[in-house]
Chains A and B, each alone.
Chain A
Amino acid sequence: MSHLDSLVPLEQSVSTRPESDTTIKSDMSRRNANSWFTPRVGLSPGRNRALGIASFLLPLILWSAISYLPFLWHPNIKITDAGDVSYFKTGMQVERERFETEYGKLVTSGGALPQGVPTNPVYLPAPHEVATALYTSFTTEPRRKSEQWFHESLWHSITIIFWGFTLSSLVGVPLGVLCGTYAAISRLQEPFIEFFRYLPAPAFGALAVAILGIHDAPKIAIIFIGTFFQQVLVIANTTRKLDTALVEAAMTLGSGKLALLFKVVIPGILPDLYRDLRILLGWAWTYLIVAELIGTSSGITWFITQQARYKNFDNVFAAIIIIGIIGLLTDMLLARLAKRFFPWDKSGDKQSAGA
Chain B
Amino acid sequence: MTLEYQQQTIEVRDRFDKLKARDITLQVQSLGKTFSTNGNTVNALTDVSFDVHRREFMTIIGPSGCGKSTLVRILAGLEFATSGQVLLNGDRVTGPGPDTGMVFQTYTLFPWLTVKKNVMFGLRNRGISESMALQEAMQWIDLVGLERFANHYPHQLSGGMKQRVAIARALAAKPRILLMDEPFGALDAQTRAKMQSYLLEIWRNIDITIVFITHDLDEAIFLADRILVLKANPGEVQELIEVPVPRPRLAGQMLETPFISTRQHIGQLIHSPSSEDDGLSEVIRMTPVGDEVEPQW
Contacts and interface: CB of A to CB of B under 8 A. Distances in A.
Contact of A252 (B78, B161, B194, B201): B78
A344 B151 CA distance: 12
A13 B97 contact: no
A252 B98 contact: yes
Interface stretch (A121-129, A149-157, A173-181, A242-250): A242-250
A197 B168 CA distance: 47
A249 B160 CA distance: 18
B197 A7 contact: yes
Interface string B115-135: 000000110011000000000
Given A4-B198, A270-B112, A254 B125 contact: yes
A13 B145 contact: no
B155 interface: yes
B160 A14 contact: yes
Interface of B: 76-78, 95-98, 100-102, 104, 106, 108, 110-113, 121-122, 125-126, 143, 145, 149, 153-155, 158, 160-161, 164, 169-170, 173, 175, 188, 190-191, 194, 197-198, 201-202, 205
Mostly, the A contact residues are: helix
A338 interface: no
Interface residues of A, number: 33
Contacts of B125: 253-256, 259
Given A7-B197, A344-B112, A252 B96 contact: yes
Interface in A324-355: 342-346
Nearest to B105: A245
Interface string A7-46: 1101101100100000000000000000000000000000
B154 A13 contact: no
Closest 7 CB pairs of A and B: A254-B98, A251-B96, A253-B122, A249-B108, A254-B125, A252-B102, A8-B145
Contacts of B77: 251
B106 A245 contact: yes
Interface string A299-321: 00000000000000000000000
A291 B38 CA distance: 48
Interface of A: 1, 3-4, 7-8, 10-11, 13-14, 17, 243, 245-246, 248-256, 259, 263-264, 267-268, 270, 342-346
Given A253-B122, A254-B125, A254-B126, A248 B78 contact: yes
Interface centre among B101, B112, B121, B158 (most CB of A within 10 A): B112
Contacts of A3: 197, 201
Contact of A11 (B78, B97, B158, B173): B158
Given A11-B158, A342-B112, A254 B153 contact: no
Contact of B100 (A10, A252, A255): A252
6 contacts: A4-B143, A17-B188, A252-B78, A252-B96, A254-B97, A254-B173
Nearest to A263: B121
Contacts of B197: 3, 7
B146 to A, nearest CB: 8
Contacts of A249: 102, 104, 108, 110
Contact of B121 (A8, A243, A250, A344): A250
B37 to A, nearest CB: 17
A194 to B, nearest CB: 24
Nearest to A342: B112
B191 to A, nearest CB: 7
A263 to B, nearest CB: 8
Contact of A246 (B102, B108, B175): B108
A243 B197 CA distance: 30
A272 to B, nearest CB: 12
A5 to B, nearest CB: 8
A65 B15 CA distance: 90
